[in-house]
Structure 1
Amino acid sequence: MEGVKPPKGLILSGPNQNYSKFKQMFLIYIDAAGLTKCEENRKIAIFLNAAGEEAVEVYNTFQSKIDTLEGLIQAFQNYIEPRKTLILNTYEFLKTKQFDGESIDHFITRLKILAKKCELENLEDRMITMLIILGVKENEIKECLLREADLNMAKAINIARQVEKGKLHMSKLQENENVLTIKKESVINCNRCGKQHALRACPAFRRKCAICLKYNHFASQCRNKKDTTNSRKKVMAVQEQSDCSSEDEVVLSNKESRVTTRSGRIIRTPIKLKDYIS
């Protein structure tokens, strides 16, 4: 039919791949041009002429003989599908990053598995090396790799492992230091039992004081002990003074009182002078 033209330019690879659209437009052309009943060899020739040089080169790689347009369309379809998968696999490989908490060995294993699906051939080691640098989490590893001359995959893996091992060792040392610090800080000088012990491990807990009869401290640490002792001293002093007669000699000073009894015994008491002037 005059004025009806076949589509031009079949693109089989890259982001502009257009096989599905080209196939649809070519089948429309065959119907519109009245070529549905023509010989299959002619349809194949028209398809390849419209598709272009890249399609012809791909056609020449097909090992089985193709006798129909339907067979040719299916052959190109089979060629396109793996290419799509290859592009997706390559995309997944190139965007691979180390996960949080993922070890270097696990990260490199993922890279190697994805690389095998990308048909990188001689470029595989170099691409894995580059993605180790780009995808590793630790900046310290990146810096060490970038400083290395003649870096290859084996060197990159070894360096990354050594840096990771060193950081793990330092982390464990820091944890041990923190544990020791916590243990050291948890030992206190207790004013309830008079001893050193861990926090919340006082032996006086729930124990009854023999002086004030209250709980949670020993008598040796009782706050009422001093007041009780002073009261006892004052009581004893008053009792001794009451034993003295009026004829006993009393000597007063600013520091103490001294009483000499008839028997000649001298009593000294730490009572201030003002205590007698009242």
Structure 2
Amino acid sequence: MTWERFGYICRRASVDRKANESISECLSRVESDTACELYGNKIRSNSFPCKILNEISRIDSSDEAKKALGIYKELNLSQHFEEPMRFKRVVAYLGYVTFIFYVVVGIYQLKVAPSFLEAFENFDIQIPSHLTFYHDYWFFFVLIVSIILIFALIIGYQLKKLFNFSLGQENSWVVRFFVFPAIRRSYIKVINILQFPVLADYASVNREASQTINHLKNINESKLDVAREMQELIEIEMRVLLESCEKQMKYISIAVALIVVAAVFLFLASAYSPIFILGEAV
């Protein structure tokens, strides 16, 4: 509910500034008011909502600060910026599948494999090569699968964290190198559109968002409503961001499912073939 609280602060501060009160003092007063708690928890200091409010507080011109507040109070951000429930389900699914994998590995390694090896020794039967191979190299097999599963979880968790809109997420090594480029481009565009009313230096805008920011500059110089155009652009980029994230999460889910199914199949094959061999011997 971070964006609901952010919106309330902007709406309240835009109409409730007292005489001889600076914008910074007004924002602090509104945010510390108990009524603000009705709109969600306190805004985190490392989030974009907090950064935007801090930038508004630093604006020297009272008219410019009021103009920025007027833009933000018109935006409906909570509807688009909250983490989708299906993301939570996918991340939970990845965690559940990883847990099942380790349970199967643990049962097989601690209970099943030692029993078979002991039975083969008791009946003086040659141990099957695939069972010997797995017994000798099971650690490396589990390590490789674990790395893949944990890496998939890290990517899923990082995609989920994007919707927290914490500072610096776009420059994390996972986002830079292991998520689809379209995700990072859309995310950068969204955060730059969000900060447009408080941008002091347009030259510092990321290359991916420069066209969008130049468009908003032209809008700002025209008679069009900046808040309306920001809202439209945010909705467009959030749809692209969400679709790209869902696409990558889908691929990750399929890959994890295939890996776990293959691993379980290997365990079952290693478990049933010794049973048949022992049955023939008996």
Shared fold per TM-score greater than 0.5: no
Structure with the largest fraction of strand: 1
TM-score, normalised by the number of residues in structure 2: 0.28
TM-score, normalised by the number of residues in structure 1: 0.29
If asked which structure has higher relative contact order (CA below 8 Å, sep 6+), I would say 2
